[in-house]
């Protein structure tokens, strides 16, 4: 009976990429903690489990890698003599993997890390940078450092880069948020989600820890990579002189951004051709609404914007682009309208519109052979040989495989963006 439930649950979960381990853990906790074992057992073992934390949980042991599971209360004592050097990959780019994450998402963070390490980073040892609006716990730091093949660093986001600015009016904000909640807007009732979106739109690239790098690779907790990466995406950007790379493109929910396009149009008029060069950019990708094959745009929009955006939970980008005066002007213009709070503007449309307006066409790339999953959607190479060659674990014909589904903007990218080509073939 339990086995049956477990199997059914796993089978449905495998389709998307929510870590199976997490599901199992929840089920086990349910069974053992709440239903079978009396409470005092768990509290006793909790106590025991944490008895030696003060000597074990030390951040200064961080350059040590665990080789085995160990019960030694001080597993570092013999190892920690300061000479554990990791092999450097010869052609490493000036880049870091970047995760904004909450302490309570540790397991999801590890799941994502394990996947990216296996599929890519174990060969390269790129640094991992973690950002948080509250201090990371020692447990978080230790576990993520043990999972990383590269250096890890942890940054605390200053309040002025994260929290609601004082010029957002309290009453108006509360009223707008309430309205969005009533209208069932996705994350419409969340203040922290708004902070996160504004941070990702205008502040992540200003964090001190990122000043030392040219490129970043954004990773979220609970994502996965279904195939070996066939190339170093940082190197692809550098060699092509590109500034932004994506894998999935979708239509945005218009009710999160009712006036975003007004703000953008305003910005374009004000810019007056200084930074926005219509003859070289991807304005057509943002505005074309024609039928593609059998498909009209999946969502009707009330402005010229067709709602297409790069799904920004995956991004590989050039930090210098975001740090540029051009992008900052664009961001400041949008920010001044208050839509990050009075509405619920996401960083995905903000990055996508910014990149599409300010970058030249060949400065944005679609990473065609990177198989990526953020529930509920994923991409998977359609070529069987690519799937074998890259040890893929995905089905390109499944309903969640998004590339050529009606709610994907990829076909529109092929038509009105940079066209269709294969990165490996140049
Ligand atoms: N530190 C921190 N990270 C957050 C917060 N809210 C969201 N995030 C991170 O921001 C990213 C996007 O959040 P997520 O919940 O995945 O949103 P979704 O993918 O749009 O459903 C993830 O990397 C989260 O870990 C927050 O309040 N604090
Ligand atoms: C660390 O190991 C390397 C290579 O084995 C050696 O060349 C180096 O001298 C060692 N450094 C220390 C501080 O022991
Ligand atoms: C890496 O990038 C940063 C930011 O652009 C720059 O300051 C630094 O000099 C670069 N490092 C190397 C080794 O090129
Ligand atoms: C999109 O591409 C098609 C085909 O090349 C072209 O006819 C159309 O004008 C483009 N749309 C925009 C808005 O640029
Ligand atoms: Mg997410």
Alpha carbon nearest to ligand 4 atom 6, residue: 416
Active site residues: 315
Q: How far is CA 67 from CA 42, 89, 104, in A?
A: 28, 21, 25
pTM of the model: 0.84
Cβ of residue 212 lying under 6 Å from some atom of ligand 3: yes
Give Dmax (Cα) for the chain.
Answer: 70
> Higher-confidence residue: 64 or 408?
408
The rounded radius of gyration (Å) of the Cα atoms in the chain is: 23
Residue 193 CA to ligand 5 centre (angstroms):
11
Alpha carbon of 375 to ligand 5 centroid (Å): 8
Whether pLDDT at 128 is above 80? yes
Rounded Cα distance between 426 and 208, Å, is: 35
pLDDT at 320 (0 to 100): 98
The answer to whether 127 touches 150, Cβ cutoff 8 Å, is yes
Query: Does residue 135 surpass a pLDDT of 50?
Result: yes
Residue 32 is predicted with a pLDDT of 47
- Do 256 and 189 contact (CB within 8 A), yes or no? no
Write out pLDDT tens, residues 222-247.
999 999 999 999 999 999 999 999 99
Highest-scoring range by mean pLDDT, 26-40, 117-131, 283-297: 117-131
Of 104-108, 244-248, 404-408, 420-424, the one with minimum mean pLDDT is 420-424
**Atom in ligand 4 nearest the alpha carbon of residue 288:** 13
CA dihedral 82, 88, 92, 94 (to 10 degrees): 10
- Say if strands 372-374 and 377-378 run parallel, antiparallel, or are unpaired: antiparallel
What confidence tier does 6 reach under pLDDT thresholds 50, 70, 90? Answer: very low
- The answer, yes or no, to whether any atom of ligand 3 lies below 6 A from the CB of 181, is no
Please report the atom of ligand 3 found closest to the CA of residue 320: 5
Q: Considering only CA atoms, which of 123, 128, 131, 125 is closest in space to residue 112?
A: 128
Q: In 3-state terms, what secondary structure has residue 372?
A: strand
pLDDT of residue 50: 81
| 55 confidence band (pLDDT: 50, 70, 90) | confident
pLDDT score recorded for residue 23: 52
Whether residue 333 is predicted with pLDDT greater than 70 in this model: the reply is yes
Task: Using the mean position of ligand 1's atoms as its centre, give its distance from the Cα of residue 165 in Å.
Answer: 19
Protein residue closest via CA to atom 12 of ligand 4: 284
Could you give all domains of the chain from N- to C-terminal order, each with its CATH number?
Answer: 2-44 (no CATH), 226-425 (3.90.550.10)
pLDDT of residue 204 exceeding 50, the answer is yes
Instruction: Determine if ligand 4 sits within 6 Å of the CB of residue 271.
Output: no
Mean pLDDT of 256-265: 98
More confident call, 70 vs 293: 293
Query: For position 48, what pLDDT does the model report?
Result: 80
365-397 pLDDT, tens digit per residue, is: 999 989 999 999 999 998 888 888 899 999 988
* Dihedral sign (CA 360, 362, 365, 366): positive
Mutational test site, ligand 3, from 214, 235, 243, max ligand atoms within 8 Å of CB: 214
Nearest CA to ligand 4 atom 11: 288
Compute the average pLDDT of residues 326-331: 98
Mean pLDDT, to the nearest integer, of 290-310? 89
Give the number of the ligand closest to the Cα of residue 95. Answer: 3
Q: Say how many Å lie between the CA of residue 60 and the centre of ligand 2.
A: 20
Protein residues whose CB sits closer than 6 Å to any atom of ligand 1: 100-102, 105, 132-133, 192, 196, 220-221, 313
SS3 at position 399: coil
Ligand 3, atom 12: closest residue by C-alpha: 94
pLDDT score of 346: 98
Pocket test for ligand 4, best of 290, 303, 304, 414 (most atoms within 8 A of CB): 290
Q: Which of 91, 94, 318 to mutate to test the pocket of ligand 3 (most atoms within 8 A of CB)?
A: 94
Total count of residues recorded for the chain: 426
425 vs 157, residue with greater confidence: 157
**How is residue 24 written in tokens?**
């199992």
Q: What does the pLDDT read at residue 87?
A: 45
Mean predicted confidence (pLDDT) in 63-89:
48
Name the DSSP class of 209.
Answer: G
Q: Is the CB of 361 within 6 Å of ligand 4? A: no
Mean pLDDT of the chain: 86
Query: If you average pLDDT over each of 48-52, 220-224, 417-421, which comes out highest?
Result: 220-224
Given a cut of 70, whether residue 29 has pLDDT beyond it is no
Confidence grade of residue 60 (pLDDT, cut at 50, 70, 90): low
Q: Are 129 and 97 in contact (CB under 8 A)?
A: yes
Q: How far is the CA of 334 from the centre of ligand 3 (A)?
A: 29
Which atom of ligand 3 is nearest the CA belonging to 94?
1
């Amino acid at each position: 009976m339990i086995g049956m439930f477990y199997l059914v649950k796993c089978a449905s979960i495998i389709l998307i990429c929510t870590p199976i381990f997490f599901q199992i853990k929840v089920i086990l906790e349910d069974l053992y903690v709440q239903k079978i074992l009396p409470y005092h057992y768990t509290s006793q073992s909790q106590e025991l489990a944490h008895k030696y934390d003060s000597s074990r949980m030390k951040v200064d042991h961080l350059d040590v890698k665990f080789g085995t599971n160990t019960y030694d209360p001080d597993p570092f004592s013999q190892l920690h003599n300061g000479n554990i050097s990791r092999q450097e990959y010869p052609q490493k780019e000036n880049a870091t993997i970047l995760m904004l994450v909450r302490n309570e998402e540790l397991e999801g963070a590890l799941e994502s890390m394990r996947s990216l390490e296996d599929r890519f980073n174990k060969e390269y040892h790129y640094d991992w940078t973690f950002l948080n609006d509250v201090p990371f716990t020692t447990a978080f730091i230790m576990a993520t450092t043990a999972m990383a093949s590269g250096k890890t660093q942890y940054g605390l986001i200053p309040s002025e880069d994260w929290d609601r600015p004082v010029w957002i009016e309290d009453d108006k904000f509360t009223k707008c948020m309430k309205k969005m909640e009533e209208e069932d807007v996705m994350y419409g009732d969340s203040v922290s989600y708004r902070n996160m979106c504004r941070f990702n739109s205008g502040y992540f690239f200003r964090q001190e820890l990122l000043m030392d790098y040219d490129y970043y690779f954004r990773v979220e907790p609970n994502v996965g990579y279904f195939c070996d990466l066939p190339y170093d995406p940082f190197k692809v950007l550098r060699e092509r002189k590109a500034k932004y790379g994506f894998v999935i493109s979708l239509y945005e929910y218009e009710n999160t951004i009712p006036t975003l396009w007004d703000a953008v149009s305003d910005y374009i008029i004000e810019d007056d051709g200084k930074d926005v060069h219509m003859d070289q950019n991807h304005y057509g990708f943002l505005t074309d609404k024609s039928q593609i094959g059998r498909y009209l745009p999946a969502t009707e929009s009330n402005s010229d914007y067709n709602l297409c955006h790069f799904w920004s939970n995956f991004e590989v980008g050039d930090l210098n682009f975001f740090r540029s005066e051009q992008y900052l002007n664009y961001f400041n213009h949008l920010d001044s309208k208050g839509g990050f709070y009075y509405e619920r503007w996401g960083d995905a449309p903000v990055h996508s519109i910014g990149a599409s307006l300010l970058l030249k066409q060949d400065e944005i790339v679609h990473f065609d052979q990177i198989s990526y999953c953020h529930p509920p959607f994923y991409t998977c190479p359609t070529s069987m040989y690519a799937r074998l060659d890259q040890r893929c674990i995905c089905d390109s014909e499944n309903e969640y495989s998004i590339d050529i589904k009606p709610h994907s903007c990829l076909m529109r990218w092929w038509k009105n963006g940079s066209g269709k080509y294969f990165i490996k073939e140049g």
